[in-house]
Amino acid sequence: MAVKGIKPLFTENFSSNLSDIQAFLGESGSPAIKRFFKHLVDDIVPMLCRFPRSGRSFLERSIRSNEALATAQKVKEKLREGDDLREFIADEYLILYVVRAKQIVFLSVRHHRQLTFDLKRFWRE
């Protein structure tokens, strides 16, 4: 369902995440982050403002660990009544946002490779 009048709000964390992605991808990833930023501004944000529930509900996913359950509970406590926490996958990026009344609050964005486990500390040479 299309919604009229929804305005985007970008958190400081979201902006910081964009800088982190740029640093993570390095100089060779500069064209990719520029393409993503253009896609974000020109396509993704307007589409999510028009169809805010396009992303998948973040808290309806199956949770299988006690740590994740505890974290999900903390997240739920921070949400306001009526807030809808959602995730949207665009190209190689995962966007976390909240649909709140007449607003979309962009919370976080990550490149999919940033979501991998860092196991180097477990195997010392």
96-110 tens-digit pLDDT: 999 998 999 999 999
Q: CA torsion angle for 109, 39, 102, 60 (degrees, to 10)?
A: -50
Q: Is the residue at 96 inside a domain?
A: yes
User: Residues 58-91: pLDDT tens digits?
Assistant: 888 888 888 888 888 888 888 899 999 999 999 8
Structural domains counted in the chain = 1
Task: Reply yes or no on whether the pLDDT at 118 is more than 60.
Answer: no
| Parent domain of 99 | 7-113
Q: Is the residue at 125 inside a domain?
A: no
Q: Is the residue at 123 inside a domain?
A: no
Helices 30-39 & 12-25 angle (0-180, nearest 10): 150
